[in-house]
Each structure stands twice: as structure tokens, then as C-alpha cells.
Amino acid sequence: MNAPLPTHLLPVIAQREVPQALIDALKARFGANCSTAQVIREQHGRDESAYADVPPPAAVVFAESTQDVSDAVKLAGQYQTPVIPFGVGSSLEGHLLAVQGGISIDVGRMNKVLHINAEDLTVTVQAGVCRKALNEEVKSTGLFFPIDPGADATLGGMSATRASGTNAVRYGTMRENVLALEVVTASGEVIRTGTRAKKSSAGYDLTRLMVGSEGTLGVITEVTLKLYPIPEAISAATCSFPSIAQAVNTTIQLIQLGVPIARVELIDSNTVRMVNAHSKLGLREEAMLLMEFHGSPASVKEQAETVQELATDNGGQAFEWATTPEARTKLWTARHNAYFAAIQSKPGCRAISTDTCVPISRLADCLLDSVAEADASGLPYFLVGHVGDGNFHFGYLIDPNNAAERQTAEELNHKLVHRALQLEGTCTGEHGIGLHKQDFLITEAGSGAVQMMRTIKHALDPHNIMNPGKIFSW
Amino acid sequence: MNAPLPTHLLPVIAQREVPQALIDALKARFGANCSTAQVIREQHGRDESAYADVPPPAAVVFAESTQDVSDAVKLAGQYQTPVIPFGVGSSLEGHLLAVQGGISIDVGRMNKVLHINAEDLTVTVQAGVCRKALNEEVKSTGLFFPIDPGADATLGGMSATRASGTNAVRYGTMRENVLALEVVTASGEVIRTGTRAKKSSAGYDLTRLMVGSEGTLGVITEVTLKLYPIPEAISAATCSFPSIAQAVNTTIQLIQLGVPIARVELIDSNTVRMVNAHSKLGLREEAMLLMEFHGSPASVKEQAETVQELATDNGGQAFEWATTPEARTKLWTARHNAYFAAIQSKPGCRAISTDTCVPISRLADCLLDSVAEADASGLPYFLVGHVGDGNFHFGYLIDPNNAAERQTAEELNHKLVHRALQLEGTCTGEHGIGLHKQDFLITEAGSGAVQMMRTIKHALDPHNIMNPGKIFSW
């Protein structure tokens, strides 16, 4: 079992009692789709964060429709009981923890792709559709949805955390790719934000207010997304560098040149070693860039040539290329396995993941000093990055029972975040604030801006029932 | 003088008295930078909309700094007096009209480009910088700012209305291109939203809440924007089509194919005729597409070939190409002069401009029926469109003293908007709601979503002093 989180790291927990009358009402309304089984509750009371020992939600409602979500929120509202939307549980920031008690609304069964409008490059899905399933479903139209945060997350969850990942360097994040939403508000009302038009100046941008609101303003029930034509040509490459600085400088230069690269991912030598051990690969144990180029055959060729030249100038070696889907998948193995390889390198560990993002010219300043600090700490870590966006993740591997290790990891994270903020960056490129970064948010945005967020929250959710305790204190 | 607007078209005006004590306080604080001269007030009490005869603001403050804006808002707030931010007055939707009285805050003197971060492709400007001046200033860095709404608007105003225009088809709108803002809130507090990082998941997206809020939530004082490398190659083309349907179908196909075209503008035959008359040109009096291709030489060539093939298949003729800046400018004359050519075709007229935007597959359905209706009405009009985005503008040319013409124009607009909404589009692609489209907003977004906007407004501006009466009624 994991150790309790040091209290200074966890926002104040004021567990609210969930009245039996609410549980009874939910059971009456939802029957078997409302569960109070311990195992189900526990499964919905944790996520991929390093938090533990928070009591699980009192009940889980498996919603099968927007009406279900609305009814569950209305019932919870009658008792001023928190509701926590749940997709697949892949949050890294404690979004799913019932820190103030309440019920979980699992939208996983709302997994229908509702409308594919191939001729407009849009698709509307229920919030519980996962990104891989979406891509399977739209494949026959010649289109794809590019946002890939690693986990096979739900589109509702990805919207709620403003997720991104690989491919964002070219295609943007959920901020740019959500056109419209259906949302159940704190009062249980169902609203729609946005339309299928590509752009609009019609009033406040409620779509983007909801995207990234981490369940604190409403439960997302439907998402309309942009799709993209599957590129005529796709080519992938890996390249190794004697030093991480050279890999980073190559990245900075290719972005500054405006190369429309689709993916440019960094793995440090340390992580390559873990991957080699885990997957029995023979990769050069050096910093590595993994890249992907999308476009017409001519444009892909041109991009690849430019990048190869830049990389070679920076000391890049051992280029490997792949153009078939199978070869590309193989080439990307190291990236896909990095997290698991790292976790398995230290049995029983958990990863405390950082998520800073800085302007591209500051990437080397931000990253290299942090590598030096992590190395000096003696704590094992992995390091991967969506470096084309200036975003990277250290995963400090801690024994959750070892308070000193947790402390060291938090100190490293703290230094890294403050460095990123000094460099005009953000504490979170894509994971969200959740429980873990609330102090950082105040430092980053300023108390005035956070107070504005809070004012909006108070106005839209006056009883603080929508995923309370996340992003900021009430 | 223009006729008063029929009252059913203008949201209820509750003129609030501006107390002399406020005027005295503003004069004491701002000296000559606070003007109550009639001519100055009138200049700040109108815009490019077809509204007229609204009494002008009681005073105009020429702000020279964020502190000036903050002080002006705080003073106005003491008297619960409306403040209306003013850039260059190019709004088409009545944003600048003092429908509830109050004072105008002119940010035109806040026209400094503060930081060019060429290595990050970002720039930070004061809100009063105009887009052409910005492009002049950054030109030497090899970068440019693509958003071009036609008017040489301020970046503050463009942010406030979520503007776009030509180029948006490739580079997005202000929604996608504003990274961060400095904003003076209703209490006069100065907050910052966003950072220079390319992406972030740090709390509510206040940047995008402010972008498009039309001055109703705060006064934008600084804007951090994305820049783009000036393309290695730029090529422009015009092509004429025997029917407007053929031009529209060409557009739909090229977007569906994913051609990364930088501009694709439509001008109907009617408007070409006006331009010929105005500018003594000899253009074919047929529907015309004006296109621009950006990229590497190879990519531009490839795009141009694809589009030429599509256009020819659709009956396109009389291709003209231009690659030098001078030749491109000449080719674009027709588009740039369309508005003035149209206005001058009917002396004394004003244009009532429509702004619908629909998913690309619905463009023909939306546009062709509306052309038929406009033709049947007998009212002269121009028609231009950012058709690659599904966005187009009829400008119905009315004699402002002729109530019947105004009525006809409004009826045409009404039919067009309802058609666009049926087709899952929006009533405004880029001009904003302002005074003119408040009923359309309710139809489009639904009363629940509009109520959510209103709740946010009430929370952030409890005394309704920030550009009151715009977007929705209180």
C-alpha cells in the first residue's frame, strides 16, 4: 500500500458526508448502474498520480446517456454532494480522487461515435469514446484524429484536461481541436457550446472555458472534434546524439525554421538504457530524437532532408528511417515503452511526473539544468519530451513508502517549475493542475487571475459540487 | 444623417447619466488626455456598423499606459459608469456605441511593440498596435503575423472580437493566435492570462474567455501573439468561373483534400462588376476565386497544381498567377477594393454586413440559396467570402433613410442566419455579436449557454460597467 501523501502536498481535504438518502435515490434511479461495491469505488477513487490513501467515492454511477449524467448531477446537487467525472482513470494529477467525498460518474459506457462528417473533417463522439477506438472508427474515411497523449484516454477526459502529447507540435492540442461540446452543468442542465463551423465569434468561448476545466465547471458528455486527412506520405526517423544538448539544439533549430514536423520526441540516454533492459533492444544508449513527417511525398522528403542536415550539423548519428506502418511502430517502440520500462526498473516504485513547457528558445536552459539537478540528486528518473512544443516530462521514480525520496522528487519538481516560470513558461503543458500544482498555478498566473477563475467557479457552481478541490481551493 | 435604427433591432438602451463628478475626476487625473469635445466624442461613439443616432460617450480618455486604463476603469467604477474600449473604430457590429452612456477609453496611443521574440515566433504588443504596423515592425526578423481582417484594426480590438479574415484558413483566427493577454478587469485590477509557452493546461483558459468577449469582461491592454516565418515561396492566383456554384465547389474540394492553402477568397460576379467600375479594371465579370499558396517552392508548386486541376475540372478559366509581391498586390486589388467599390456604387449608402460561417460541406447549400434570395430582393449587394472557412459576407447596400430597404436587408440576413444555423453553422464567423446579433446568439447557442455567459458576466462585472449592452442583455 502506498504511504499517505505528506499533508503539505495535498490540498485541504474536507470530506463531506454522502447522505444515505442520496445513495438510495441513485440506486432507485440507476439500479445496477449505481454501485457501492468497495472494489468499484476504489477503482474509481484513484488514478495514475502518486497520491494514495484518499477514501474512495461513496458510489459510482455508470452513465449510459447524457440524461443519466444530468439526473445524477441533479440528485447529487439536492444533497450538495460532490460529483467526479471518470473516463478511464489515466489522470496523472489526482483529478479523480474524491478529496471531498462524493460520487463518481463513470462515462465509459457513453462510447458511441455519434456522427462522422468526413466531408467537413469533423466527428462528434460521446465523452467516453477512447482515442484509439475513435481512430479505428474513422479510419475507413481516410481521416484521423491526431492528439495522442500516450494513454488511451477518453475524449471527454482529454478535453477536460486540455491534453495534447505527440503530434501537438503540428496539429495543436485539445484547445485547438475541440469545436463544440455538450456539457451537463452544476445544476444538471444540458448545454451546448460551439457549432461545427470552423470558426465563430458568437459570444464567450464557453467551449474553451470548459476545455481544461478539469470537471470543475461541468461534466462533458459530447465532444465535436476536428479530423485530418491521413497524410499521403508518413515517414519516421530516429537519430542519436552524443549529448542531450545536441538533441535539444536540433529541435530548437527545426522549430525555428518552421519545419512542419508532426512529431519530435526526446528520450534521454538514461531512459534509452531502461528501454533496452525492458524490451531487449540494442539501441545506442544516447539521447535520441524520434521524429515523424507528414505530408505529400515531396514535402515529407523535403522536411526529412532539412532535419537530417540539421541533426548531422549538431552531431546526430545513427539515423534510422521507416515508412511502412509496421516499421514506424517498431521505431517508436522505445518511446511507447519508456514509461513501463522506467516503472519496472525499480520494482514497487511510482513516478512523480513533471510537465513544464517553455518557449522553444528556452528549452535548453530549462532542460539541461534540470537534468544536472536530477543527476546530482541520485534519484532514478526517466525523461521524455514533446520537445518541439518545449514540453518535457521527468518521471522521478520514488519508493512511495520512502518519505525522503518523495521529498527529493518534490524539490526537483519545485526547482524545475520555478525555472520554467522564470523562462516565461508554464508549470503544466498538458497534464492539468489537479491536486498537485495548485501552488504553482498561483505563482504562474498570479493571484488576480486565479481569483478570476475562482469567481467563475463560484458563479457557475455555487455549492461547489463539481469535482471540488481541484485546480484551486474554494 | 442616418435614420435612427428601428427600435426592434437595437437592444434596449438605458442611458445612464454620467456624473459631472466623474468627468471632473477624469480631467484631474488625465488632463488634456481626457476630452469632452463634441467632435472627439462623436468620433468615438460610432463605428462601421449601420447604426446611428446613439448619443456619444460623455468623455474620451486617451490612455497611454495600462495604469491609465486601470485608473480610468477604477474612476468609472466608483460611479458605476460604463467604459467602452476603443481601438480604431472598425467594428461592424456596433461594439463602440455608447448605448448605455459612459466613457470611451481610447487605447490607440498604446501602440508600442514591446517584445519581439523572434527565436520563439512570438511578439508582445500594446493593445493599440495595428496589424499593419506590427507587420512592418517584425518584417526584418523574417516573421509575419498572418491574421488579416481587412481593416487595419488594433490587435486589442481583433482580440476582443476574435477576428480572423483571409489567411485564417491556414493560420487560424485570433482564438488560435493569441498566447497571452494583459487585461484590466472591471475592478481596475491588472491581470495576466497565459504565458509565452506554446501550450498549457494551467487552469481555466482565461485568455480564450477574454478573446471574443467584446470588451464586456475587461479592457485588453497587452497581447502576446504567435508569429510565423515568412514563407520561402508565396504564389497567388485568380481564377474565374462561369457560375458561383463552380467556384464554391472548387473551394469545398480543395479543403476536403487537405490542401494547406493560405487564402481562398470568393468574389461574386456582381462584386467584380462594381470593382471594374470603381478601379477601371477589365476583370471577367464572373465569380472569382483569389488564392494564395505559402510554403517551400516545391510545396507551393504542388498546391498550385492540385488547385489548378480542381478548378479546371469545375470549369475554372482565365487563371492568372503572380509570385512577386507587386504582382500579388495587383492581383488582390479586386478583393481589397471590393468594399469601397460597393459602397461607392450607391452614393450615401451603408452596408449591412452578414457574417455566417458553416461547415465546409454546407457552403454551397448556405450560399447559393442566399444569393438567389438576394437577387430576388432587388437590393444591391456585394458578396465576398473567406470561403475556405465556410465564412462569407453579403453587404446589403441600403439607403439608411429608407426603412423599407433596411427591413429588406434585415429579412435577408435573418433568412441567411437561420439557414446557416440549420446547417450547423454560426451567425458570426468573425465580426462578433455586438448589438446586432443578440437574438441570433440565443437561437444559435441556446438560452442555457447564453445564461451561462450572463452568469460569468454578472460575476466578473457586477455593476455592468464593461461595454454594457453588447453580446446579450443584462
For the stretch B112-144, pLDDT in tens is 999 999 999 999 999 999 999 999 999 999 999
Is B162 in contact with A299 (Cβ distance < 8 A)? no
Burial level of B20, CB count in 10 A (0-12/13-18/19+)?
exposed
Closest residue in chain A to residue B450, using alpha carbons only: A203
Q: Which of A424-438, B30-44, B49-63, B218-232 is predicted with the least confidence, judged by mean pLDDT?
A: B49-63
Q: Is the pLDDT assigned to residue A354 strictly greater than 90?
A: yes
What is the CB-side half-sphere exposure of residue B443 using CA atoms within 13 A? 18
Chain A positions touching B362 (Cβ under 8 A) are 120
Confidence of residue A327 (pLDDT cuts 50, 70, 90): confident
Confidence of residue B13 (pLDDT cuts 50, 70, 90): low
Q: What is the mean pLDDT of residues B36-58?
A: 92
HEC assignment per residue over chain B = CCCCCCHHHCCCCCCCCCCHHHHHHHHHHHHHHEECCHHHHHHHCCCCCCCCCCCCCCEEEECCCHHHHHHHHHHHHHCCCCEEEECCCCCCCCCCCCECECEEEECCCCCCEEEEEHHHCEEEEECCCEHHHHHHHHHHHCEECCCECCCCCEHHHHHHCCCCCECHHHHCCHHHHEEEEEEECCCCCEEEECCCCCCCCCCCCHHHHHCCCCCCCCEEEEEEEECEECCCEEEEEEEEECCHHHHHHHHHHHHHCCCCCCEEEEECHHHHHHHHHHHCCCCCCCEEEEEEEEECHHHHHHHHHHHHHHHHHCCCEEEEEECCHHHHHHHCHHHHHHHHHHHHCCCCCEEEECCCECCHHHHHHHHHHHHHHHHHHCCCEEEEEEHHHCEEEEEEEECCCCHHHHHHHHHHHHHHHHHHHHCCCECCCCCCCCCCCHHHHHHHHCHHHHHHHHHHHHHHCCCCCECCCCCCCC
Is B172 in contact with A176 (Cβ distance < 8 A)? yes
Is A201 in contact with B161 (Cβ distance < 8 A)? yes
Chain B positions touching A446 (Cβ under 8 A) are 191-192
pLDDT tens across B283-299, in order?
Answer: 999 999 999 999 989 88
> At A438, phi and psi to the nearest 5?
-65, -40
B411/B407 Cα distance (integer angstroms): 6
Write the single-letter amino acid at B425: G
Res B5: pLDDT: 46
Q: Which residue has the higher pLDDT, A174 or B326?
A: A174
Closest residue in chain A to residue B231, using alpha carbons only: A258
A323/A328 Cα distance (integer angstroms): 6
Closest residue in chain A to residue B254, using alpha carbons only: A119
Is B197 in contact with A359 (Cβ distance < 8 A)? yes
pLDDT averaged over chain A?
94
Burial level of B466, CB count in 10 A (0-12/13-18/19+)?
buried
pLDDT tens across A382-423, in order?
Answer: 999 999 999 999 999 999 889 999 999 999 999 999 999 999
Domains, in order of start, for chain B = 7-106 (3.30.43.10), 113-229 (3.30.465.10), 233-422 (3.40.462.40)
C-alpha cell at B417: 442566419
Write the single-letter amino acid at B263: R
Question: Which of B199, B391, B444 lies closest to A429 in CB terms?
Answer: B199
Residue B220 Cα, gap to closest chain A Cα (Å): 14
Res A4: pLDDT: 41
**In chain B, what percentage of residues exceed pLDDT 70?**
97
Chain B positions touching A215 (Cβ under 8 A) are none
Q: Is the pLDDT assigned to residue A3 strictly greater than 50?
A: no
Res B14: pLDDT: 74
Count Cβ–Cβ pairs < 8 Å, chain A vs chain B: 275
Chain B positions touching A449 (Cβ under 8 A) are 191-193, 203, 206
Is A202 in contact with B445 (Cβ distance < 8 A)? yes
Res A53: pLDDT: 77
Q: Specify whether the CB–CB gap between B54 and B100 falls below 8 A.
A: no
Q: Is the pLDDT assigned to residue B149 strictly greater than 90?
A: yes
Confidence of residue B4 (pLDDT cuts 50, 70, 90): very low
Q: Specify whether the CB–CB gap between B442 and B407 falls below 8 A.
A: no
Question: Which of A176, A200, A212 lies closest to B357 in CB terms?
Answer: A200
Confidence of residue A11 (pLDDT cuts 50, 70, 90): low
Res A337: pLDDT: 87
Q: What is the mean pLDDT of residues B249-263?
A: 93
Residue B269 Cα, gap to closest chain A Cα (Å): 26
Q: Is the pLDDT assigned to residue B265 strictly greater than 80?
A: yes
Closest residue in chain B to residue A254, using alpha carbons only: B119
pLDDT tens across A13-67, in order?
Answer: 678 899 999 999 999 999 999 999 999 999 999 998 878 779 999 999 999 999 9
pLDDT tens across A201-228, in order?
Answer: 999 999 999 999 999 999 999 999 999 9
- Find residue B255's DSSP bridge partners: none
pLDDT tens across B185-206, in order?
Answer: 999 999 999 999 999 999 999 9
Closest residue in chain B to residue A214, using alpha carbons only: B203
pLDDT tens across A239-271, in order?
Answer: 999 999 999 999 999 998 889 999 999 999 999
Q: Is the pLDDT assigned to residue B52 strictly greater than 90?
A: no
**In chain A, what percentage of residues exceed pLDDT 90?**
88
A111/A127 Cα distance (integer angstroms): 7
Q: What is the mean pLDDT of residues B57-73?
A: 98
